[in-house]
Amino acid sequence: MFRILFYLVVVFLLGLGFAWLAERPGDLVVTFAGYRYEVSLMVAAVAIVAIVAAVMILWWLIRSIWTSPYTVARYFRVRRRDRGYQALSTGMIAAGAGDGGLARRMSQQAAKLISSDQEPLIHLLDAQAALLDGDRQAARDKFTAMLDDPEMRLLGLRGLYLEAERLGEREAARHYAERAVENAPQLEWAVNAALEGKTGEGDWDGALKLLDSRRATGKDARESVAGRRAVLLTAKAMDVLDADPQAARTTALEAHKLRPDFVPAAVTAARALFRQNELRKGSKVLETVWKKEPHPEVADAYIHARPGDSTQDRLARAKKLQSLKRNNVESALVVGRAALDAGEYRLARESCEAAARLGPRESVYLLMADIEEAETGDQGRVRQWLAKALRAPRDPAWVADGYVAERWAPVSPVTGKLDAFEWRMPMERLAQVVEGEEDFSPAPAIAAPKEEEEADEPAKVEAETVVIEAEPVEVEKPKEAEPADAAAEAVAKPEKPEPPAETAPVNGQKAASAKKDNPAKPPLPDDPGVDPDDKDSSTQSPFRLF
């Protein structure tokens, strides 16, 4: 566009110049070699312009002839390069689609048409084709060769990291991730892998330094970094709480400031403050968290803030927590436990019943059983509450990757992931207790002769207190106590069902049928692990660490 405007401006200026000369007539006289040449001014101007144009055209022709070999070579070179890039593009698409044969052919064709020094993507296509063909060692060699090229170094580290993770070489994978972080701290995968390595070793300072080196962009990224930093600070504070309460206090308060609703940070900060006799400040930290999210660990730290408090003092502090968050299961349970310790069974029972109405779960019925045993000692009612607890939903706990822990931990013991523990209800039990419908009415007495009634009483109590957990248990009663109730006899000694007639073994094929019905080999797991073809017979790692 600008070139067209430039030419139009030049033509316009030439037209103005010729018009100006046409309005001002004159003669041009030139004397040369004894001759006198006289022409008009307009003819002289046209001649000068024609001479200049002829010189320019002549120069263009000479220059074109002189550079024609280079122009022809460049044409064929560009055509060859276009064919190479077309093959490279087709190969990358084939690799993405999983067509290893086409990817390999296109890789070879692209390598012939384009120099690998000029286009590093050829190395990537070679590595991808090798992975699709199952040649893992060749792919690792390609990724290792990429480390020498600054432009391809991060790609090579990424490939080696994935291969190390696939083979279970955690140390090698962490090494490549740390090298990638040194070159590019913004890489999410590298930062996460390096953090897992630091946290697995308990190097909280190194993990914090590594996290600070990451350049977070965007609101979500900044919040993620702040959350993980709070987790690392909390873990560090928990480690130094016994040795250096002052450092634990500073670190935990910083974590609490980053995540005000993070329970482990608040509890650790409060305990550090309590050890420095700052009861009011530590209690305020716990009260702030309790208002947002009631938690048993917060209640336990708040009630036992002073080791020398009496049970009545602890009950008063529990009531204060309940006033901060009413109509909550945890608040009712806190008061119920404190009232049980203080001997106020009526208040404990009322609080436990309120918790059962708000959210019936296992701990509510267990607490009710403790109250019943402490107040009345009625073992029948205690067993009744325990049976309810077995069938009730489980209490929330710290869960990470299916692992249930009593206490919070900064990393998952299964995968090593940072900030993996969540406070939630665990999955259902693998094997539930087999019980019938709840029946809290008194059990019917077993009929017996009057003269043997006193002698049979221990035997009946023994038969009634049998608990069936995973498998039915056979209980032998004394010969003197013959149960008259058929249901009680069925519970004490269940009968085995008879096999159907059509499934009975015929012609001595019992062993073969049993072998078919019960195979000796267990089913294979869902994750078969590393392909046996990929395993090296030697124990030496296939990765080269730098």
Cβ neighbours of 43 (radius 10 Å): 11
Q: Choose from 107-111, 186-190, 281-285 the range with maximum mean pLDDT.
A: 281-285
Determine the average pLDDT of the residues in 416-422: 89
Q: Which residue, 90, 88, 99, 162, is CA-closest to 123?
A: 88
What is the rounded CA–CA span in Å between residue 204 and residue 252?
A: 13
CB 255 within 8 A of CB 234: yes
Across the chain, which distance is largest between two alpha carbons, in Å? Answer: 170
pLDDT above 90 covers what percent of the chain?
A: 35
Nearest-5° angle of CA 222, CA 228, CA 230?
100
Amino acid at 92: M
| Chain CA centroid to CA 148, Å | 32
Which residue type occupies 273? L
Q: Delimit the domains of the chain by residue range.
A: 8-79, 216-307
Q: How far apart are alpha carbons 62 and 54 in whole angstroms?
A: 12
Listed in sequence order, the residues at least 6 apart from 129 whose beta carbon sits closer than 8 Å to its beta carbon are: 91, 95, 100, 103, 104, 107
What rounded mean pLDDT belongs to the chain? Answer: 78
List beta partners, residue 108.
Answer: none
- In angstroms, the CA 129 to CA 124 distance is 9
Please tell me the predicted confidence (pLDDT) of residue 545.
Answer: 64
Residue 235: partners with Cβ closer than 8 Å, 6 or more residues away: 199, 204, 410
Burial of 479 (0-12, 13-18, 19+ CB in 10 A): exposed
- Stretch 310-315: mean pLDDT, rounded? 93
- Tell me if 340 sits within 8 A of 348, measured CB to CB: yes
Average pLDDT estimate for 120-133: 86
What tens digit of pLDDT does each residue of 367-379 get? 999 999 999 999 9
Identify the pLDDT of residue 109: 86
Q: How far apart are CA 419 and CA 228, in angstroms?
A: 7
Range 272-291 average pLDDT: 93
- Give tens-digit pLDDT for 324-365: 999 999 999 999 999 999 999 999 999 999 999 998 999 999
Q: Give the pLDDT of residue 1.
A: 76
Q: Is the pLDDT of residue 100 over 70?
A: yes
Retrieve residue 117's tokens: 């020094």
| Of residues 150 and 265, more confidently modeled | 265
Residue-wise pLDDT for 213-264, tens only, equals: 776 666 777 888 889 999 999 999 999 999 999 999 999 999 999 999 999 9
What would the DSSP string read from start to end of 409-432? Answer: -SB-TTT--BT--EEEPPPPPSS-
357 vs 116, residue with greater confidence: 357
- pLDDT tens for 444-458 read 333 343 344 444 444
**CATH number belonging to domain 216-307:** 1.25.40.10
pLDDT at res. 343: 92
Residue-level pLDDT at 537: 44
List of long-range contacts for 532-536, beta carbons under 8 Å, 24+ apart: 533/134, 534/136, 534/167
